Structure 1
Amino acid sequence: MSTVTRSASASPMALNGIIDASLFPLKSTADVVNLFRRALTSGIEPDLTLLSIVVGYIELSLTTGEAASQAAAAAAAMTQAATGGSDVIMGNSVPFPVVTHELIAGLYKKFQTILSVVEKPKPHRQATREIIKKVSDVIWNSLIRSSYKDRAHLQNLYSYLSGNKLDCFGVALAVVAGCQLLGYKDVRLAISEDHAWVVFGQKRVETIEVTWHGKGSEDKRGQDIRPGIESGSWLYLGGLAVVCERGMEVAAICAALNISLTANSDCVEVAELQQQLLWLLYDLGHLKRYPMALGTLGELEEIHRTHGSITCEQLYREAIDSARTHYRNHHVYPYTYQGNYYNRLLKYRDAFAAWANAADVIRLYTYQCRDDEEIYKELLDIANELIPYVMKTESSGHSARSILRDAEVFANLLRFYDGICQWEEDSLTPILHIGWAKPLVNNITKFDYDIRSQVVIKLPEDLEAEQAQAAALEAKEAAAAAAAAAAAEALEGNNNTVVKKDEKTKSSELPTTLADLTAACGEKILNPDFLLQGGGQPFAEQKQQTTVGEADSTEPHNNNNNSNSNNNNHHNAEKEATKTTTTTTASVTTSNGGSGSSGSNSIAIQLPVTSEASHQAGQTQTQTQTHIQNQSQHKEAKPEPEATAPDDYDPFEIMLKRPVIALYSQKMKGLKDLLLAEKLNTHAISLQVTAQSVASRKVRGVAEKQSAATISATITAIASSSTSSGTEGGVGGAAAGASLGASSPGGDSIAASRPKRTRRE
């Protein structure tokens, strides 16, 4: 069938119930993308109702229809016979559904009829809390009660208008679309990483709940979200959720598309449609402030790359940059997207760094048991499934290139658990039970003492002291510079020579008086250089003794150098031979009052370097290196650069790193000495991790301090009295920690790993 020619200026919707019939039927993915492009570029607000109905109809037709089920069963049977049980579905025989004008117009009119009980606004009238609550009541009361569960394919208006079913996000979207259809233009959708609500008003600072959250049926409609923000819940992202414009609301519709066909496979057609729509929104700039949509697009590109210049890794980085730039780094999922991506590529160093960064974000919140269920499952999956599997894989080879020989990986592991421990603090429900403690202890024991001891662990009070010391030093240097500048200004125009303090001290130590010279002339030989030029020591013997003394004082200093400097002394001396000769010649010329001719200079440069000069040059170079190394030990280590690909690093360079981390949680600060001990005490580690004394500090008040002191004293006693190695006490420590451990919100069950999407060819 021929494609209908459409005018470039045609608008796909008019927000008055009249839909342009020339845009239909939609028979392919290209037709749907063209519809969205015209809606986003026509100069008229894109109609959320129309677009949600269109993509919803396509999604449900391809994933939940009877034909889709039959095709999935047939493809699964075919794959079972061909591959012997693989979960990858090789094809889908369901044809692309034809979207007709009659179908869309009928559902559109039905939605208008449902909303007819709500009064339309007068010109330039803004929405109020009562109006939005009434719209949400109308939608809420028309839902089938059994739909109050987060199931797949219930997030669009087609699901609502054809079956009266919506999930949490679908209700929020329906309310915003309904307000737009009524004419309230100031109502916008707000999205966190696991929830959605509505903002309204001229400055869009007013907020209102219009749906529920979780698996229960308790709705929050009409409430403000401020209590959730004040409680520190991750669900509301500290008030830094994504507040959408119209184009971003269209992006939310596309990002919410569910491409799942079965538990282990995806629908190719829906994935392709979602991917092309997100690239359209990306090109139009509607994803810049939407980290979750960028992460979704990155996953789709990872499965099947369609863009020539932008990779999925770049999209994950853009998602992180967006969260840092626009939301003060309060979003967790961009880092879990990146970490899981690196884990799938076996780039374990990068994966550990990304997971640690995710934990650095979650530490900003306080754990809420019911609201934070999804992120709890995500972090539990990383801690108890992904990381132990990586450790098991890496420990089998145990080569120099293994992550178990990298102190930075161990530092990131500690940072990951430190973030989770701090997330637990001040919460009414503990997080870390024995199910967390066992994998933690096992992961730590995989690192040898020589690797663990390379990590420099600092506490917040240490960092504050260093910052205060650095500030005082800077202030002192600034004051000295100001004083020197003032003295220079005061002496400007004065012809008197100012003698420096060092020169004054040096000259006072020399026996320059006539009486001293006369008394010593009978016993010692005078130095000709001193008599002719006035430089150096007055007596030759004294000069020789001074030189020998300097050499003697240098020798023990050299013995304290690092092995690298001692091994390279001779090489450094030969390398600096020419430079030392030139410097010596310049010194001789200067000491002669600068009267040497050019000929004398050339002769001095051509003199061969003797072994004595080479030895002195090596000593000088060694002293300089030692001085620089001693100074660098008192400076805070600079942040390590981002980890590179496995084939781009030097294992010896990695082994010599000394990463510096700061531990902020009370539990991990108590583990500082245990983590760096030569023999790990798994009893004490398990007790410390599962201790409940640091939880609910705001509620317990003063009593918490006494309980914390008791737990710390117990752990210290166990650590001091234990004589067994770390691996010998693993089981016993875990059992002892069970008495202090808390049961997880969902028991000891571990959330299943999120399966990698499989693309059918």
Structure 2
Amino acid sequence: MAGFREVDRQQFPLQDISSIVGLFKQQLESSYEPDLALLSIIVGAVENSLTWNRALSAQKETENFTEFKLPPVEYHIVEALYSKFHAIIKGAVDLSLYGLTKFATRDLVKKVSDVIWNSLTRSYYKDRAHLQSLYSYLTGNKLDCFGVAFAVVAGCQVLGFRDVHLALSEDHAWVVFGEGGKETAEVTWHGKGNEDKRGQPVGPGIGSKSWLYVNGRPVICTRPMEVAALVSAINPSLSPTTEAMEIALLQQELLWLLYDLGHLSHYPMALGNLSDLEEVSPTPGRPPCNALFQEAVLSARTYYANQHVYPYTYQGGYFYRHKMYKQAFESWANASDVIRHYNYSRDDEEVYKEFLEIANELIPQVIRVVGSGHSARSLLKDPECFAHLLRFYDGICQWEEGSATPVLHIGWAKPLVNTISKFDAAVRARVDIICRGATPENGGEGGGDNGGGTGSASGHLNNNNYRETDIVRSLESRVGPVGTSAGAHPSIAALTAACGEKILNRDYLLAGGGPPFASEGRESPGPSSDIPEPTPSVPSLPPPLPVVEELPLGPTEEGRPQVILHSQKMRGLKDLLLAEKLNTHAISLQLTAQSQVQVGRKVRASDHDSMDGFGIRNSYKRARRE
């Protein structure tokens, strides 16, 4: 209990924000590791005392933050809970069974997980707020997903293992351990039930193409970053629309402490939370919230290969609230550029709801606001905004490709059609659309450019003829390379015969759309090749990583905006989108077609009910940012 012995008893009772910030500062600057159990108990005590059975009327705001008085946190209460946690862990784990080693083993991590898991009460809903701290665990045996993972790391710290750390995606938590943090283990659940995956490794096969595991690019925490995680997990909400201002201010001050000490630079989600708090209540002398939103984006791009979605949706929400609509469109398109690298699954309910809200509520609202079109700078007259919109939907369509469950249904198609129809044909025609198809030669994404990069001469621009080499490559994808003898590939003979019997498809020759012959039915090319699975890397602090892509939008030589479409559905919509008169029925059919994904039950927004502790906090953040 070195961490607790360092605490000066005279600091108690803790009854204002500055006293708690001072204790955290002492822990973070100590020669010892910060004591996770101690700090979680303290912030949990404050959060629960201010939100438990409290009237929904928020305390009157004041400009002087120090005037907020907190319920006193008494020394004897903290000491009793702290000792109880140590007794639970040490009483259940016999270290002699694991030999003399400074590194944890999978069996030991699983044992600590068992201790926490088996002591939880089963008669509560795990998506309720305020269940993420050890205070909740020690006083009510209740924890959400994040709380379980944090408790396991804190329990391993109690046992003296300094190699066990939190791994955080945008909606899940697990642990890394062992020399160099090379081992991984599930220690909690995710989804609707209590699926017991605890102890199983999070392998590259699971992490690849899965947003839940951010394509093998999670935030691997150091001890101070785990403190940042528990602070970021603080939930001031009293209801979906009301919060305890004292808790929000405590969280804000603690995040600034961690920011000043350099512990948020590798933590995009925490930077996003701080940005949100600053937007509501700016701190004099601090960077503005828009700079913090951008810092979160740069952190995700620098250290996590641009595999995190929420930095862009946080930023887009900020632009939306401040009526910077063009910038919001760009941020939402950038978020979609990230999600295109994943395959949608039923574990993705939170990010699904995020994109559904953007597509069906926020974008239509923007269009309604600017719909008069009287201003010369209206979004509806700006081809770049139209290009951002196409990129946004292209990413979502590509997210659907190769997935077992469809994403797009009629509820998505109607708002898209309504939005597209508000852009005049002359504006839509000013966007150069490049279609990157799947071919064996380029690995499925146009010269290996997975979802990014500005166009090159090999793209299919609006007014360019479909080059002969592209026709040859497309035919080769169906019948084999040119020059292969008929004996080696029987399909060539059939194709040769067909050329004398069928009329070539004009759209295929001019724009690359449809099958080669006019009499053929619409065929859908196979899903794009998967991105190579990354080799997992778990350093204490991630080094800068190459960004997966450059944003696929830029001006052409004529100054026209340019967008690259990768998804099968959006490539098939190219001619419809550029038509002078929109065929809204055909656009809807193309978007909702199920031929390009495995057939499954259509997804409704109401199907997505997260039982994960992350879900309630993300939903709260969305409501708060409105």
Give the structure-1-normalised TM-score.
0.63
| Among candidates 94, 108, 119, match of residue 119 of structure 1 | 94
Question: How far is 1:24 from its partner?
Answer: 2.0
Alignment of 1:683-698 (within 5 A): 683-696=585-598
Answering whether residue 329 of structure 2 is matched by residue 348 of structure 1, we say no
Answering whether residue 338 of structure 2 is matched by residue 338 of structure 1, we say no
In structure 1, the residue matched to 2:412 is 436
**Code of the aligned partner of 1:744:** R
Answering whether residue 131 of structure 2 is matched by residue 154 of structure 1, we say yes
CA distance in 2, matches of 1:149, 1:423: 28
Alignment of 1:203-602 (within 5 A): 203-226=180-203, 229-230=206-207, 232-369=209-346, 371-460=347-436, 464=447
CA distance in 2, matches of 1:203, 1:187: 10
In structure 1, the residue matched to 2:114 is 137
CA distance in 2, matches of 1:128, 1:741: 41
**Code of the aligned partner of 1:361:** V
CA distance in 1, matches of 2:68, 2:458: 70
In structure 2, the residue matched to 1:49 is 37
Alignment of 1:60-79 (within 5 A): 60-64=48-52, 66=53, 68-69=54-55, 72-73=56-57
In structure 2, the residue matched to 1:667 is 569
Provide Cα deviations, 1:465-496, integer angstroms capped at 9, x if missing partner: 985879xxxxxxxxxxxxxxxxxxxxxxxxxx
**Code of the aligned partner of 1:755:** A
Question: How far is 1:638 from its partner?
Answer: 11
In structure 2, the residue matched to 1:573 is none
Compared CA separation, residues 444 and 212, structure 1 to 2 (3 A): same
Answering whether residue 615 of structure 2 is matched by residue 755 of structure 1, we say no
In structure 1, the residue matched to 2:470 is none
Contact residue 17 and residue 109 of structure 1 kept, 8 A: no
Contact residue 19 and residue 105 of structure 1 kept, 8 A: no
CA distance in 2, matches of 1:138, 1:17: 25
Unpaired segments ≥5 residues, structure 1: 1-12, 80-90, 471-636, 642-653, 701-739
Contact residue 248 and residue 287 of structure 1 kept, 8 A: yes
RMSD: 3.0
Contact residue 341 and residue 399 of structure 2 kept, 8 A: yes
CA distance in 2, matches of 1:154, 1:255: 13
SS at match of 2:259: helix
Q: Which has the higher helix share?
A: 1
Compared CA separation, residues 743 and 285, structure 1 to 2 (3 A): closer
In structure 1, the residue matched to 2:82 is 108
Answering whether residue 47 of structure 2 is matched by residue 59 of structure 1, we say yes
Contact residue 408 and residue 657 of structure 1 kept, 8 A: no
Question: How far is 1:131 from its partner?
Answer: 0.5
Contact residue 15 and residue 69 of structure 2 kept, 8 A: no
Question: How far is 1:457 from its partner?
Answer: 0.2
Give the structure-2-normalised TM-score.
0.76
Question: How far is 1:742 from its partner?
Answer: 3.2
Compared CA separation, residues 243 and 407, structure 1 to 2 (3 A): same
Question: How far is 1:689 from its partner?
Answer: 0.2
**Code of the aligned partner of 2:412:** W
Question: How far is 1:292 from its partner?
Answer: 0.1
CA distance in 1, matches of 2:153, 2:399: 33
Contact residue 148 and residue 217 of structure 1 kept, 8 A: no
CA distance in 2, matches of 1:432, 1:638: 22
Contact residue 3 and residue 27 of structure 2 kept, 8 A: no
Question: How far is 1:26 from its partner?
Answer: 1.1
**Code of the aligned partner of 2:377:** R
Contact residue 353 and residue 605 of structure 2 kept, 8 A: no
Alignment of 1:640-719 (within 5 A): 640=554, 657-696=559-598
CA distance in 1, matches of 2:100, 2:6: 21
CA distance in 1, matches of 2:194, 2:211: 21
Question: How far is 1:160 from its partner?
Answer: 0.3
Question: How far is 1:22 from its partner?
Answer: 3.2
Contact residue 198 and residue 207 of structure 1 kept, 8 A: yes
Question: How far is 1:658 from its partner?
Answer: 1.3
Contact residue 168 and residue 196 of structure 1 kept, 8 A: yes
Question: How far is 1:23 from its partner?
Answer: 3.1
Question: How far is 1:215 from its partner?
Answer: 3.2
In structure 2, the residue matched to 1:128 is 105
Provide Cα deviations, 1:609-646, integer angstroms capped at 9, x if missing partner: xxxxxxxxxxxxxxxxxxxxxxxxxxxx99659xxxxx
Answering whether residue 172 of structure 2 is matched by residue 198 of structure 1, we say no
CA distance in 1, matches of 2:554, 2:312: 18
Answering whether residue 29 of structure 2 is matched by residue 38 of structure 1, we say no
**Code of the aligned partner of 1:450:** A
Question: How far is 1:357 from its partner?
Answer: 0.1
Compared CA separation, residues 307 and 251, structure 1 to 2 (3 A): farther
Provide Cα deviations, 1:320-351, integer angstroms capped at 9, x if missing partner: 11001100000000000000100000000000
In structure 1, the residue matched to 2:452 is none
SS at match of 1:145: coil
In structure 2, the residue matched to 1:27 is 15
Contact residue 149 and residue 214 of structure 1 kept, 8 A: no
SS at match of 2:624: coil
Q: How many residues align structurally? A: 507
Question: How far is 1:217 from its partner?
Answer: 2.1
In structure 1, the residue matched to 2:604 is 744
Question: How far is 1:288 from its partner?
Answer: 0.7
Compared CA separation, residues 29 and 469, structure 1 to 2 (3 A): closer
In structure 1, the residue matched to 2:463 is none
Provide Cα deviations, 1:541-576, integer angstroms capped at 9, x if missing partner: xxxxxxxxxxxxxxxxxxxxxxxxxxxxxxxxxxxx
Question: How far is 1:756 from its partner?
Answer: 3.3
Compared CA separation, residues 309 and 99, structure 1 to 2 (3 A): closer
Question: How far is 1:164 from its partner?
Answer: 0.5
**Code of the aligned partner of 2:81:** L
SS at match of 1:150: coil
In structure 2, the residue matched to 1:523 is none
SS at match of 1:447: coil
Provide Cα deviations, 1:53-90, integer angstroms capped at 9, x if missing partner: 000000111111x4x33xx35x69x99xxxxxxxxxxx
**Code of the aligned partner of 1:55:** V
Contact residue 552 and residue 563 of structure 2 kept, 8 A: no
SS at match of 1:147: coil
In structure 2, the residue matched to 1:99 is 73
**Code of the aligned partner of 2:12:** F
Compared CA separation, residues 35 and 15, structure 1 to 2 (3 A): closer
Compared CA separation, residues 679 and 757, structure 1 to 2 (3 A): closer
Question: How far is 1:744 from its partner?
Answer: 2.6
Question: How far is 1:683 from its partner?
Answer: 1.4
**Code of the aligned partner of 2:383:** A
**Code of the aligned partner of 2:256:** W
CA distance in 2, matches of 1:56, 1:14: 21
Identity of aligned residues (%): 58
Question: How far is 1:308 from its partner?
Answer: 1.4
Question: How far is 1:262 from its partner?
Answer: 2.1
CA distance in 2, matches of 1:376, 1:412: 19
Unpaired segments ≥5 residues, structure 2: 438-444, 449-454, 460-550, 610-618
CA distance in 2, matches of 1:284, 1:337: 23
Provide Cα deviations, 1:702-759, integer angstroms capped at 9, x if missing partner: xxxxxxxxxxxxxxxxxxxxxxxxxxxxxxxxxxxxxx9934363699x99932359x
CA distance in 2, matches of 1:240, 1:217: 25
